[in-house]
Structure 1
Amino acid sequence: MHKTGSSSIQSSLFLNRDALNEHGIAYPERGLVKDEEVGFRHLKFSNSLKQHAFNEAALLSEIVHLNSLSASTIVISHEDLLRLDLHEKALKLLGESFNISLVAYVKDPILYFNDKYKEWVRRMGCALEPADFVLQHFDYLHWDRLAKKWESFIGRDNIYLFPFEKAHFRNGSVLTHFYDLLSHICGVQINQERLAPLMANQNTSLNNKAILATLLANKEPEHSHTGVKKKFLKSANQMRNLNSSGLLISRECARQLKARSWHAWYYLKTHYNCNVSMKKLDEYKFDSAFHSYRIRYDIYQNAHKKSLKKRISQLLLPNA
């Protein structure tokens, strides 16, 4: 799922293609969307399984291509392989063509939505407030339904679900845990010491103050003539190194997430022994400043003042 180390896993799989091929494991380049920041993931293949984009002939062609690869194991990776709108015919065709194992890491829903929201504001131009964002993406909470979508086609024994928590991983690394699991599934022993390490952190996030300035920029019209949008983005860049912490979602939103995810949490615990830890509400730290009108007003005033001063100076100074 999103924000569970997927960028590191995908980048490592891409970087170590040759080493993995020696073990009969392929990370196919066809259909990859290459993004240095978020990893090298199979976005096009994932999208082709969705109901609105499903094309049987195209998927059959993709299956033929995958079967033509000289590998005993093929790894396909994308965060949206766990979603409710996957086409059942697509899953049926895949289940009939391959012996499929599904691997997913599941995160505390409160932390999950908080981190995912920050990424969408930063990278996707999201202009929604945190609670509105949670409501729009609430389907990602239905872990039980997401798992059941695959169960009828590949069987529960072929689904591996794990909590995204360092305490559950050898060396505290999700990458180490993933390769251990891949070795188990494939029946080979991948020597992780021979794999090339990642050079830098993947998909780094911004602090809360920078996210707030970016959110205000996203709310501005794309073709605004005031220049305020650019000022907000400039302010966000200047705030990158400032200290700010805590959850951007509100305490009430977090309470609702805990309550509404209980059934799915219980399903994963009892059917997959996947016990996702969630703290008591009072143990979470919330960033109330993110929702402060005073702070937002100060950012607005600062941006407008700079923009106004620039426009005045342009009017007063004659053209060269």
Structure 2
Amino acid sequence: MPEDRMPHPRTVVLHIGRHKTGTSSIQNTLRHNRARLLERGVLVPESLPSNLSGFFLNVFSKRPEKKRHNVQHGFDRALIQAQGQQMLDRLAQEVDGFAGDRIVLSGENACTLKPDEVAQVRDRFATMLAPAGGQVDFRVLLYTRNPVSYASSAIQQNIKKNNTLLEEYKRFVLRNSVGWYQRIHAAWAGVFGAAAVELRSFETACATPGGLIGNFLTANGIAPEGIAPQRANDSIADEIAEFLSSPHMPKRPPDQRGSWSAGFDLSAADQDILFAIRGSKGGLLTASEQAGLWEAVAGDMRFLEQEFGISYRSGDTAGPAPFGAVFVDDLAAALPRLSPPVRRGLLAYLLDRPAPCDPAQTQPGVDS
């Protein structure tokens, strides 16, 4: 085909994270607006899950059987590979019937792939996702977040999911923070080229007139008009995260917890009540832990500022004070509705803490 008759390259957007930067909201928005986006020549594959983290890891990771989800469910490599191939086949079939110029794939755990695994992403998608007789232009996007804010958010989410306790996951997050952005950028820019990889500030995106969703869409050449944002994955209050990790939280016996479970003995009703209590956010690290984290990520912060103009400073994550008026009001409304064991545990936790919250003022008018 003569060069002047070659079809325009198709843009393939690879949104690779980061975890805790609004990825669920982005994915829910893409899914909810799939038909409208398709009318604009943008494919959000219906043949794949909304969150492609499992897809990226199962298809492109060297050892997918070692990933947490697969270990929990007892999936071996043969089964994982078979499922991965089925997803690839469905995607290829869907792309064959697509004539638009843009495909969006979003999976926050894709950013954890190693360089040789990233190369497989490029090699596989360069042919599978290209238009007939054409080529693919890849665009890789990752959102960043203030390290203290990220650490607190990641910790509380794992507690909320009943995966781990506060101190256990805190050590994991702090240990894995050093050089994170530089490693991810090196892996993806080394394969796709630095010009194809962009890091954007989650905080700056949220503060723009169109919010995170508008920022994401415009960054990827998609008009945001008429696209209804879908919020997801609200975090829980620090006070509740600390209670769940405390000795006062009722827990199941170890032999009834399963793999990677903190063992919280919570009914669905108790979860809904506790998770709706508003309170402090972003304060799960002590002052000394925050100082140590800033020191550990200093190199990463210099990298973000020099390469992408993203600037983070200590002290810019202050949120509501713990055990404030909003928390106390929500607590007073929640206590009568909790099951007796959880209510007793929560009151014992409050009594055990040197905090400006007097449980006597929030005692429910029922026997605890």
Name the structure 1 match of 2:188.
150
Structure 2 counterpart of 1:52, one-letter code = R
Q: Does 1:212 align with 2:242?
A: yes
Shift of 1:113: 0.9
Q: Among all aligned residue pairs of Structure 1 and Structure 2, give the percentage whose two residues are the same amino acid.
A: 19
* SS of aligned partner of 2:56: helix
Name the structure 1 match of 2:173.
134
The one of 38, 42, 47 aligned to 2:52: 42
Name the structure 2 match of 1:22.
39
Does the 8 Å contact 1:213/1:232 carry over to 2?
A: no
- The separation in 1 between residues aligned to 2:165 and 2:193, in whole angstroms, is 40
Name the structure 1 match of 2:265.
230
Structure 1 counterpart of 2:103, one-letter code = I
- The separation in 1 between residues aligned to 2:90 and 2:190, in whole angstroms, is 22
The one of 156, 159, 167 aligned to 1:121: 159
Does the 8 Å contact 1:268/1:275 carry over to 2?
A: yes
Name the structure 1 match of 2:294.
258
* SS of aligned partner of 2:303: helix
Does the 8 Å contact 2:238/2:284 carry over to 1?
A: yes
* SS of aligned partner of 2:109: helix
Shift of 1:17: 0.8
- The separation in 2 between residues aligned to 1:99 and 1:258, in whole angstroms, is 36
Does the 8 Å contact 1:17/1:27 carry over to 2?
A: yes
- The separation in 2 between residues aligned to 1:194 and 1:114, in whole angstroms, is 34
The one of 184, 188, 195 aligned to 2:227: 195
Q: Does 1:159 align with 2:197?
A: yes
Structure 1 counterpart of 2:305, one-letter code = K
Structure 2 counterpart of 1:46, one-letter code = F
TM-score w.r.t. length of structure 2: 0.63
Does the 8 Å contact 2:44/2:105 carry over to 1?
A: yes
Shift of 1:212: 2.0
Shift of 1:79: 0.9
- The separation in 2 between residues aligned to 1:85 and 1:202, in whole angstroms, is 28
* SS of aligned partner of 1:133: helix
Shift of 1:27: 0.5
Q: Structure 1 residues 243, 131: closer, same or farther in 2, change over 3 A?
A: closer
Q: After superposition, give the CA deviation of every residue in 1:261-319 in whole Å (9 maximum; x if it has no partner).
A: 12122222222x241322249x7579899xxxxx99933999xxxxxxxxxxxxxxxxx
Name the structure 2 match of 1:182.
220
TM-score w.r.t. length of structure 1: 0.72
Shift of 1:137: 4.0
Structure 1 counterpart of 2:283, one-letter code = L
Name the structure 1 match of 2:103.
74
Does the 8 Å contact 2:34/2:43 carry over to 1?
A: yes
Q: Does 1:7 align with 2:17?
A: no
- The separation in 1 between residues aligned to 2:266 and 2:81, in whole angstroms, is 44
* SS of aligned partner of 2:220: helix
- The separation in 2 between residues aligned to 1:21 and 1:117, in whole angstroms, is 36
- The separation in 2 between residues aligned to 1:219 and 1:123, in whole angstroms, is 14
RMSD over aligned Cα atoms:
3.7
Q: Does 1:277 align with 2:287?
A: no
The one of 100, 103, 121 aligned to 1:91: 121
Does the 8 Å contact 1:82/1:146 carry over to 2?
A: yes
* SS of aligned partner of 1:248: coil
Name the structure 2 match of 1:298.
348
- The answer to which of 12-21 and 210-219 deviates more is 210-219
Name the structure 2 match of 1:316.
none
Q: Structure 1 residues 300, 85: closer, same or farther in 2, change over 3 A?
A: farther
Q: Structure 1 residues 168, 138: closer, same or farther in 2, change over 3 A?
A: closer
What is the count of residue pairs matched by the alignment? 277
Shift of 1:195: 2.0
- The separation in 2 between residues aligned to 1:253 and 1:232, in whole angstroms, is 33
